[in-house]
Amino acid sequence: MPALTSFRLSAFLLHGMFPWWSNLLKRTHAFGSPKRSFLTRLHNHRIMLMALSSSSSSSSSSSLDKHEDRMVARHKERISNDEADVTGPEQHLQHQKHVFDEMSDFFATQQTVPDELVPVYQHLALQIWESRPEARDEEKTTTRIMDGACGSGALFPFLLEQAVESDLPVEIVGVDVAPKMVAGAQEYASSLLRSRDDHIIQVVESDVLNFQLNEEDDRFDVVILNACFGNFWNTSAVLEHICLRLLKQKGGSVIVSHPLGSNFVEKLNREDPTTVPHLLPASSDEWSVMTRYLPLELKKMDFSFESNPYYFAWLQRVRHVALPNVMRLRGKVATGFGRGGKKLGFPTANLSPVEMRPALESVETGVYFGWAVIEGRSGIHKAVVNVGFSPTFEGKENAEKIVEAHLLFGEEEVKDFYSETMRLQLHGFLRPEIKFPSFPALIAQISEDRDEARGALDVEPSVAFSKDPFLVDSSQHWIGSTGGDDKNSWEFVETDAAIDALP
């Protein structure tokens, strides 16, 4: 039964090795009967399941080394002939479905989380809980957690336990690509939440990279990638999708973990590289390289817990990120739609969408930041720039992608500069373009974008980019190397090369 993986906590009491469980039960008296009965039910359910599965009892006394050997053996057993066809992301996805459907029976037994790993999962759940945005505790609002590649749901009871202990509601969305894993996790979640309506667990069939939220859904406070990061076809693409589409922009966290540590993942990679094609990042430097162009900051790394191998990396969402390519755009300021300053209170200088169409074909819609110069005028100005279709103006969206630059002039008087030539150098990204439910919500977000851009441009490498000859020598004739003419042109330069070329 899938539920057999769920109630490792009561093993502490059953085996008499850990005082934690009995102490927890004592502490729950102070919080009232709902919490106490829930935790007690976890304990009782575990006793029942262990009695029904006495033939598996040897796993509770086995060493972690033996557990690792069993896991590796399972990978060896299921290595199949379809591996020769795994040459791209779609084949890889089908391979993962096949592999973990085959292994679903194994992951639905006590062998998945043997008693030796219970303290590890307990510690992991605590670290995950502590990575949530702090405001969640103060506001007593529901914490939303995505458990990516959740398997049979091994983390579910440990996360629920943290929520119960904190007296805070939690909503867990488990995502897995294998249908049999999903079915088992759904059954398991139902057994966990019986007679409780303050917590939610949903399990859906999807791979992480293709999982989408509906417009009305809240983004996640935490996205967990536990015991699965090495399995993805493209780890960077997964992190990018999580950051830009799934994670809360303010303080959202990504957790990459493995209860058996990075050496175990290396062993799986060696024995079954088709299923586990990647290793875990081994240092903060490796994480820095992987997330250089993602809005993520490494907050913490652990490689052991109580002298046992363990892997934990906590990455937190930040509001801005360097672009892999610096954009330089030059063109005449065109007449806009009269809504930036008049409707929203943030006047913008727009480049002609027709003239800039070829330049913007490969540019993601979203909010960028950088520096701006109006040729013939003094000063280099901070700029926050929207590239997109303005979807909040329903029925009056832009017909095509447009560049709308809000220049941060400070207190000086600003006059219109229509038909004058503007140079924009964009090297940072804030967020994707989205449709807001109201104009006040859009205005509030633009205000945040402006403040965030102002701060980002006060630190490196943004300060260095203000010395770009493209900006400083704006009186010099310039035609971008990527396309355009002497009136409107553009170029895209790798960020490293652009930095190296700065004076």
83 and 220 co-located in one domain? yes
302 and 326 co-located in one domain? no
Q: What percent of the chain has pLDDT over 70?
A: 77
Structure tokens at 39: 């935790």
Task: Reply yes or no on whether the pLDDT at 27 is more than 90.
Answer: no
462 and 357 co-located in one domain? yes
Query: Final residue of a domain: which of 317, 334, 353?
Result: 317
Q: What share of the chain is helix, strand, coil (3-state, %, to 5)?
A: 40, 20, 35
Find the CATH number of the domain harbouring 468.
2.40.30.30
273 and 362 co-located in one domain? no
196 and 238 co-located in one domain? yes
Domain extent for 216: 2-317
HSE (side-chain half, CA atoms, 13 Å) at 106: 14
Amino acid 104: pLDDT: 87
Structure tokens at 27: 């502490």
Q: What is the pLDDT of residues 1-12, one digit of tens each?
A: 233 233 333 322
Q: What is the pLDDT of residues 323-345, one digit of tens each?
A: 999 999 999 999 766 555 555 66
Query: Final residue of a domain: which of 317, 341, 360?
Result: 317
Amino acid 336: pLDDT: 62
Phi and psi, residue 320, nearest 5°:
-135, 160
With bands split at pLDDT 50, 70 and 90, how would you rate the model's confidence at 399? confident
Query: Cβ distance 305 to 354 under 8 Å?
Result: no
331 and 305 co-located in one domain? no
Structure tokens at 259: 């209860």
48 and 108 co-located in one domain? yes
Amino acid 8: pLDDT: 30
Q: What is the pLDDT of residues 66-114, one digit of tens each?
A: 656 666 666 666 655 455 578 899 999 999 999 999 888 877 765 568 7
Task: Reply yes or no on whether the pLDDT at 46 is more than 90.
Answer: no
389 and 303 co-located in one domain? no
Query: Final residue of a domain: which of 253, 287, 317?
Result: 317
Give the whole-angstrom CA distance, residue 294 versus residue 321.
6
Give the whole-angstrom CA distance, residue 73 versus residue 271.
9
134 and 175 co-located in one domain? yes
97 and 14 co-located in one domain? yes
Amino acid 26: pLDDT: 36
421 and 482 co-located in one domain? yes
Amino acid 241: pLDDT: 96
- Quote the number of domains for the chain: 2
Task: Reply yes or no on whether the pLDDT at 38 is more than 60.
Answer: no
Helix (H) or strand (E) holding 358: helix 353-360
416 and 495 co-located in one domain? yes
Find the CATH number of the domain harbouring 133.
3.40.50.150
Give the whole-angstrom CA distance, residue 82 versus residue 456.
48
Q: Which residue has the tokens 């490196």?
A: 460
Q: What is the pLDDT of residues 234-257, one digit of tens each?
A: 999 999 999 989 999 888 999 999
Q: What is the pLDDT of residues 422-443, one digit of tens each?
A: 999 999 999 888 888 888 988 9
Helix (H) or strand (E) holding 439: helix 439-456
Catalytic residues: 404
